[in-house]
């Protein structure tokens, strides 16, 4: 009896526990709309980035770059052949082997640009607590391309090799963890990203344009 009365007293007193103020409906709705619009915009960007057309485009660009490199090598090897592009003096003379490698470097640069965009979106998506199947498939595709590039002459460049190896590690972690397995584990990936400073280094490695610094060299 006394216990019941004390319970009633507790329940009454408990009404004061974290008594909520008036619900800020409009403020929260404005934020919800803003977040949803931003996420829709980002999803659209990723859809474009990972659309078959973009993939085809990037593949063609890489193939073209490699083709040009091989072509230039062949022309350069022919006695008496005139160079098609005037090589700027600052760039210095380019050896035929180096020309071939430059083609792979172009492909690697394009790849790092995609990786940087992906990792930036990954971090933002994780903070926002969202992801979708399309997003995860993007990580898998990037991982495959990273491994291909690691086996290519692009990886002869020590700067590219280190970046590609670190990128491979991060992508393996991302691919292995699904969003459903828990935000905490994915947070470890972002913490690792931030600790290792991979994103700033990727940004440094990517020139302002896809071929900045390489104009006229090939």
Partner 1 sequence: MDERRLIARVLDGDPVAERELYDTHVERVYRLAYRMTGDDELAQEFAQETFIRAFDRLRQFRGEAALSTWLHSIAVSVIYNGMRKVRRLQARHVDLQETAERCRSPVGVDPDLKERLAAAINDLPWGYRTVFVMHDIEGYKHEEIAAALGVQTGTSKAQLSRARARLREALADFAEEWAS
Distance CA 32, CA 96 (A): 57
- Smallest gap from Cβ 21 to partner 1, in A, equals 6
- Smallest gap from Cβ 18 to partner 1, in A, equals 4
Measured from the CB atom, the residue of 44 and 54 that comes closer to partner 1 is 44
Is there a contact between 202 and 109 (Cβ–Cβ < 8 Å)?
no
Name 171's Cβ contacts closer than 8 Å, sequence gap at least 6. 115, 139, 142, 143, 146
Site size for partner 1 (CB under 8 A): 29
Distance CA 217, CA 72 (A): 10
29 is a contact residue toward partner 1 (CB under 8 A) = yes
x/- contact string, 136-175, with partner 1 (CB under 8 A)? ----------------------------------------
194 is a contact residue toward partner 1 (CB under 8 A) = no
Burial class (CB in 10 A: 0-12, 13-18, 19+), 2: exposed
The 10 Å CB-count burial string (b at 16+, else e) for 187-206 is eebbeebeeeebbebbeebb
41 is a contact residue toward partner 1 (CB under 8 A) = no
Distance CA 71, CA 73 (A): 5
- Smallest gap from Cβ 4 to partner 1, in A, equals 10
Of the candidates 32, 63, 85, 97, which one interacts with partner 1 according to CB under 8 A?
32
- Smallest gap from Cβ 41 to partner 1, in A, equals 14
Distance CA 214, CA 62 (A): 15
Query: Footprint of partner 1 on residues 119-138 (CB under 8 A)?
Result: 129-130
Is there a contact between 112 and 33 (Cβ–Cβ < 8 Å)?
no
Q: Residues interacting with partner 1, by CB under 8 A?
A: 2-3, 6-7, 9-11, 13-18, 20-21, 23-25, 27-29, 31-32, 35-36, 39, 129-130, 183
């Amino acid at each position: 009896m006394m216990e019941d009365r004390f319970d009633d007293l507790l329940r009454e007193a408990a009404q004061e526990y974290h008594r909520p103020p008036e619900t800020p409906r409009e403020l929260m709705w404005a934020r919800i709309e803003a977040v949803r619009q931003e996420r829709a915009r980002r999803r659209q960007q990723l859809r474009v980035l990972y659309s078959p057309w973009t993939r085809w485009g990037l593949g063609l660009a890489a193939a073209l770059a490699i083709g040009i490199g091989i072509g230039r090598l062949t022309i350069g090897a022919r006695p008496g052949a005139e160079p098609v592009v005037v090589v700027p003096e600052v760039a210095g003379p380019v050896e035929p082997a180096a020309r071939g490698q430059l083609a792979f470097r172009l492909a690697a640069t394009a790849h790092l640009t995609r990786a940087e965009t992906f990792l930036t979106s990954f971090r933002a998506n994780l903070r926002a607590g969202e992801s979708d199947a399309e997003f995860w498939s993007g990580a898998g595709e990037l991982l495959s391309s990273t491994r291909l590039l690691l086996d290519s002459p692009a990886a002869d460049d020590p700067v590219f090799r280190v970046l590609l190896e670190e990128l491979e590690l991060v992508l393996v972690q991302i691919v292995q963890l699904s969003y459903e397995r828990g935000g905490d584990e994915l947070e470890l990936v972002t913490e690792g990203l931030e600790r290792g400073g991979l994103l700033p280094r990727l940004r440094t490695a990517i020139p302002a344009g896809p071929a900045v610094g390489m104009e006229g060299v090939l």
